[in-house]
Every structure is written in structure tokens, then in C-alpha cells.
Structure 1
Amino acid sequence: MILDRFRLDGKVAVVTGAGRGIGAACAIALAEVGADVVLAARTQAQLLVVAEEVRRKGRRAHLVCGDLSDPDAGAALAGDAEAEFGRIDVVINNLGGGRPGPLGHSSTEALEKAFRFNVSTADALTRAAADVMLRGDGGAIVNISSVVGRVAGRGFLAYGTAKAALTHYTRLSAADLSPRVRVNAVAPGIVLTVALQKLVGEGPARERAEASTPLRRIGDPQDVAAAVLYLATDASAYLTGKVIEVDGGLHALNIDLDLPDL
């Protein structure tokens, strides 16, 4: 059956930034289709909540609490996952973010920090996890990029530039790791995470954000998780080096983001 290709029974997935938002939604979705999940984030209390949801799905959850921006954290996380479960089959590089600010209110240091947080962390875990995958049955890596890595939006200089780099990193690493490890990415648009809620609230700013999207709504983390699930499973077995925009049509119609002044 075609739906069998969406299963991850007996597989192990590692999800960074798994304490809330997109990362939490991805972790729970992966558990729903059969994966045991290694949950990594800085805040233990948040991880405990997500771990409980994973276990409700009948899967095992292993928590790794720490700062993944540390240069050695990626290798340590992969080693921890392998020690706990003996394998790694899926990696979701969800950790990322950055302070908004246009060129005049940003800095070179902000750009460098955005690269470390959004690109270097993904690279460190990708390298370490790929070593484990290549000793085993191969696997799939999914990077969480952003629509602002593909379209212009005022105030996203550092973050958008870093996400653009992550998008191309996805293509380059896919070429290097094929055929046994597939690497793809999802580029979310305006998705209602905690950070976005603080930015747009419930008033006119939110209405503007909704109106700027062709589908006329803000995305939900589960919208992103569904695309991640496709890329993490054999449903996408003939895809590598690709980026799926989950953005309500922003990129397809070349529409600029319309968020509050930053």
C-alpha cells in the first residue's frame, strides 16, 4: 500500500529545537508514524511535555537538554542518539532563528551569529549523524529553512541570508551524501510559532500577515510537520536536494512579506 511508505516503524529520528512550535510538531508526527524520537532543546520542561506526547503514541522518547550552538554539540547529540538506540535514520535540523533587523539596525556580528545558529548547528549534526547513517541503513535529513531565504522581506537581513545559505547547503550536502542519505528542506512561510505570536499578536499586524498570504491565513506548525513527514519517509524516496515551500503561496506568487515594521 502507498501509505506504508509514510511509516517509520523501527526507525530512530533526531529532532532539534524540539521543545515547542515546529520542532515539537515534527517530533510528535514522526512518533505517530512509528519512529522513536531523540528530542533536543535547551529547556527541559518543554522537552518533558513533548516526550509525554511521543510516549502517548506508543514510541520511545529520549531527551537531550543543552545548547546545540556549542561547536561540539552536534557530534555529542549524534553519539548520544546512537548510544541510546543503536542507530539514526532521520534527522530534523529545526534549530534556528534570529533577531529581526534591517541593514541599518543590524551588524556583522548579528550576521555571523545567524550563520552559527542556523547553518553551523545543522552542519555539525548532519556530519555526525551521516556517519552513523552510513554505517547503517542510510537515512533522511530534513533542514528547516525559511521563505525569507528565498524571497525578500524587510528586516530579515541576517536571518534570511543564513536561511538562504542553509537552503543551498541542503543541495550541496545532498550531492555529497547520495545515494544512501537523502537531504531535503522545508521552507516555512508565516507560521504561528511563539516568536511570531509575539511579533504580530492578534490585531492589525496579524490581519496584514494573513492578507499578505495567497491562502489568506497564517500557517500552523502541523502544516510544516506534514511536509517534513513526507521528506523523512520513503514517500519521498526519489527526492533529494529539494526544498518544499510551505508558505501559503508567498514564494510561488513572488509576494513580499508584509509584517510589522521591524
Structure 2
Amino acid sequence: NAAQARYPSAISSEEYPYAIWTETTSEVDDWSENCSEWGGRPYFSYDEFGWYGESWRYPAEIDPFYDCTKDLWTGSVGHGYDSTTDHVSVVFDDWTRGGSYLFKSEAVEDGYIVNGFETLIVNPAHLGTDGYSSAAILSMNDNGQGLLGIDGIFAGNDMDAGTCTAPAANITCNKTAMFKITDNFGQSWYGDQSAFDFYYVPDEVFDDILSTWPNTDVDPCTGEISEIDNFWSWYEFDMRVDGDGNPHIVMS
């Protein structure tokens, strides 16, 4: 009874509503010790008769080349339409291999999404201490402009040891918004080549924001006074691209 829809997402085209989710498959009897820890396997479904058709398709694979070494979770979906074709991209974090993997539709036929091979879009070797960077999220518009980002730390930032060395020391030692940009519905992605092809919010931006804030914060319940002299981002964040391709970021 392992099959349960976890981390669901939804998108819609003019013709079809879609649901995307992950199921754990590691509890099957023939699961090998060489397989992934949780067996995260992503699926999608859609109403084959269109909106309000009440005929949802039997779940189909997001990854047509899935094998048991993969462990794909916390999917985020981007969708755009260029007047003739639907374009769907989905990014998943892999809880066993590490990193984030992107799937891009090669075609959408009568609602059915045909995906190709996975692409490692966020390499864990480019990030700092494991567990301090968020899952990847994705946003796309109808012009093919999109962003894929995380709230994270760069390689060289060792949170356990409390040290920050190169390459992070040459980029930022803070946790920040990191994102890549596409202008062709996810066929290719680009960013700052000196920061592992990520654009990022630099320290100067946060310093400018902090300069407009008060220097202290008073707890209304206890009266305790805390000094505000630096910043640190937690895991609550969102990134979206607007109709003109401009990124918009909200962070805690």
C-alpha cells in the first residue's frame, strides 16, 4: 500500500487540467539494496475528455526511463503555450543521488506529455553543506521565458564547520536566492558563469535592504530586544517570472 500521491502539483492548458505527483516504490517485495532509498517515482494524469470531462487518465510516467536508482521528489512544474504547442517542464529533487533533475516535454499529443531524458540542472557539487539548500522550483511564461531556482548556499560554504572558502568565498557566504534563466521553454539555461551558471541575489542588495530597517527588534510579548545586524534566509521562498521575463523573488 505504498502508492500514495505525495507532493502534488497542478497545471492547466486551455484544453486539459493536469495533476503531477510522486509515489514511493521502495516498499515493493523485489526492491534491491542497490536501488534508491525511497524509490520516489513521479507520475501525471489529466482529464482525457478535457475540462469537466470526468475521465482522468490512468497515471503515466513523468520519466519514461525511470529505474530504481532514482528517487525523485518535491516536483515543481512550469507550463507555457506558444500559440501552437504546449511546453511542459518539471524539476524534481533526488533524495538519494542528490541534485535536481529536469524533464522537458518533447511533444504534447492530445494532452499526453511525452518527456525525454532527465537533465541534471542543479548539481549538488555546486552547493554547500547538504541540507541547507531548498528544493528547486520552476516558473515559465508563454513567451518561453522562465526561471529555475533554489534558496541555497554555494560550494565552499561549510555550515557544520562554520567556514566559508572558495568558491563560495568569491561569490557569497550567505544563503541566497540562486536561479537560472531560459528563453526557449527550457531547452537551454544560463546564468552567471562565475557562479556555476546561477544568477543570485548579492550581499549588496541585502545590505541595502537592511539599511532601511531599524537596528533592533522588540518582542511584543517579553520585551526582549534583539539587535539586527545581519541577515539569513530560511526555507520559505518563491520565485516567479512575469510576462516580460522579469524574475520576482520573495524570501523569508
Highest RCO, 1 vs 2 (Cα 8 Å, sep ≥ 6): 1
Q: Which has the higher helix share?
A: 1
Question: What TM-score do the two structures reach when normalised by structure 1?
Answer: 0.29
